[in-house]
Structure 1
């Protein structure tokens, strides 16, 4: 009769499976590429390149001379001179400015009506038209720029009219709004980097995806899972060894991604936008802590879904559909203006998203929110691992075809 296994022997069995799977998959180029190159390194690089391109382009458009076709420039020479001082370069009028804007031939056009001089002499309000297409993203900056210049010119002329009539310019402004913005330079970075939590979860998912598929559907297709189950080792130990290997690859993938962001994040010109971004070691360690239960949860779900597939390709399809799961909380929080509540931190994925945004904002994650985030995700991870462990006890899992 065999003696019962001691805790040390049980741990040794799990460690043996873990080392076997890690060693074998370190030779797989596809797994290495997805876990350590495609997601972890290319994601920070591409993200920072796009952010840099977008920021520099908008800043250039805000600083460079702005060419604007003007219809009726002869009716308001003083207004045209004020626009020139603000960097606007008037261009000859176009025959059909509305159609030219719709066809994206120009970003905007300015139309000054014929009755402008007469209304101005009478001291009546005058109207100018800005013709643009708000569905074109490129039009926002030039439209705001021209609008600000015209409004500034209007206030100056209005003040001069009051002075000419012996009145104080303050008479036209009985109420003044004093804005007290409580945002810090670091908290404003959330406006630009609120996609970071999703990128981190996506890196985790991709980092362990191919390994999870290979350790279940892949071995099942190669008919190597049945001999493994034939060994005198409990199925749950085999599963824990495989799960540990998937988690190791996912953790390494996230760590590389965090290092990548800490390096390339220094090249984002946040100071030009009045922002600060700190993605150093402290930020990385806190993100790893927040994502610790998510690593187990995602690895368990990937193994569970892949176990239902009879081939590697079929498992890829199933797990790819599962990839939609990490997207949902991030999309909801980025699109809908939801005020964070304490209970939201206990929801897997959503809690991590909110916690990482707190880190980016610089306020840090409170102890209560940290406990809720780790606790809620840990419970979900244990449930998912338990369900997958039960599936490993099924004889159908070892049968290919």
Structure 2
């Protein structure tokens, strides 16, 4: 028993030495852990700025002199004529080409109660123009509603007749739920990090060792194939876990630079959240390493292994996004690998209690799948076809 454990220990040490010897592979493994939190911080700051702040919108306004009150509404919402922009801003906003045309019959049509057509011309396929166009439309819509209410009042009609029903909304969500965009991004990055971080290590220790003839020499030793696979799995999965720990640590620091109070939200990774996320993601790291090793050994070359295994990254990206489009989720999704972890992470970020039973079941199913892959791969490594990459 001790001899068997000693062999496994020696194999694990050998795998870690080779992994840490390849600095480029380690840089790839930990790059996402450092870049993802920075991306979350930058994107969150940008989104909050767009939601809360009202940057100046410049538009070519013709006929503004015919509608002074509407022009005042535009200025109150920081929408001003393009002629008042600086030289640099004029160059930017001229490319967007947002134009507002107010007819010269505005005054007479208003007095006679006719419908006034205000033309808004813009490129609706241009993403930077969407927010300014929405703000302009909101101003015109609110101004028109105010005029309509005044006309009703002048005719002695109570404006409440226009709104016979009123919905009183009671938002029961936690403050942390308002930061769902950060939660979605972080959850997606964590799942992808679990699959990506050990990717280069897994490919190099399988297809790479086979091309360098290291695997053949290793199999000639009096060591079981199961121990060889377990050593490679331990190394690759450990690198992924280290990457996840680093990502969570950096995120907990970087998120402090985002002022979420502007949108009435709170988000932090405390010790409980950190531990719960780690418990959720460790089985995913093991499954990812098992899948990567399995498909790498099936490939005929190192290059083919890179192409095949890289496609596995689509798995953690596709499943969480697909879950957002399912309104009535089937019960089996709660314990399915990746899907179950995604659902529990969503509840965790919302501040809801953790469903420990679902967590235990989905973790167990994930570990069982990983064990099945390891046993199958250990059996396949006894075949000369797999070891020599024979067709």
TM tier, shorter chain? 0.7 to 0.9
Residue 372 of structure 2 is aligned to residue 386 of structure 1: no
Counterparts of 1:169 and 1:400, CA distance in 2: 80
Contact 2:57-2:79 within 8 A present in 1 as well: yes
Question: What's the CA shift for 1:231?
Answer: 1.8
3-state SS, counterpart of residue 182 of structure 1: coil
Question: What's the CA shift for 1:279?
Answer: 2.3
Counterparts of 2:77 and 2:219, CA distance in 1: 76
Task: Report the counterpart of residue 87 of structure 2 in structure 1.
Answer: none
2:321 corresponds to which of 320, 331, 350: 331
The structure that is helix-richer by fraction is: 2
Task: Report the counterpart of residue 98 of structure 1 in structure 2.
Answer: none
Residue 384 of structure 2 is aligned to residue 395 of structure 1: yes
1:18 corresponds to which of 6, 9, 12: 12
1:235 corresponds to which of 194, 216, 225: 225
Task: Report the counterpart of residue 279 of structure 1 in structure 2.
Answer: 269
Question: What's the CA shift for 1:396?
Answer: 3.3
Task: Report the counterpart of residue 255 of structure 1 in structure 2.
Answer: 245
> How does the TM-score come out when normalised to structure 2?
0.88
Distance change (3 Å), C-alpha of 1:31 and 1:106: closer
Distance change (3 Å), C-alpha of 1:125 and 1:174: farther
Structure 2 unaligned blocks of 5 or more: 85-92
Question: What's the CA shift for 1:59?
Answer: 5.2
The C-alpha deviation readout for 1:274-327, integer Å capped at 9, x for no partner, is 222122332221111112221221111111111123433332222223323332
Counterparts of 1:400 and 1:164, CA distance in 2: 87
Q: Please identify, of 84-93 and 189-198, the stretch whose mean Cα deviation from structure 2 is larger.
A: 84-93
Counterparts of 1:364 and 1:135, CA distance in 2: 42
Structure 1 unaligned blocks of 5 or more: 1-5, 94-102
Task: Report the counterpart of residue 99 of structure 1 in structure 2.
Answer: none
Question: What's the CA shift for 1:181?
Answer: 2.8
Contact 1:31-1:211 within 8 A present in 2 as well: yes
Q: What pairs up with 1:367-378 in 2 under 5 angstroms?
A: 367-378=356-367
Question: What's the CA shift for 1:18?
Answer: 0.8
Question: What's the CA shift for 1:30?
Answer: 1.9
Contact 1:283-1:359 within 8 A present in 2 as well: yes
Task: Report the counterpart of residue 268 of structure 1 in structure 2.
Answer: 258
Query: Number of residues paired by the alignment?
Result: 382
Distance change (3 Å), C-alpha of 1:104 and 1:281: farther
Residue 204 of structure 2 is aligned to residue 224 of structure 1: no
Residue 340 of structure 2 is aligned to residue 346 of structure 1: no
Contact 1:203-1:253 within 8 A present in 2 as well: yes
Question: What's the CA shift for 1:66?
Answer: 2.6
3-state SS, counterpart of residue 348 of structure 1: coil
Task: Report the counterpart of residue 39 of structure 2 in structure 1.
Answer: 46
Distance change (3 Å), C-alpha of 1:87 and 1:227: closer
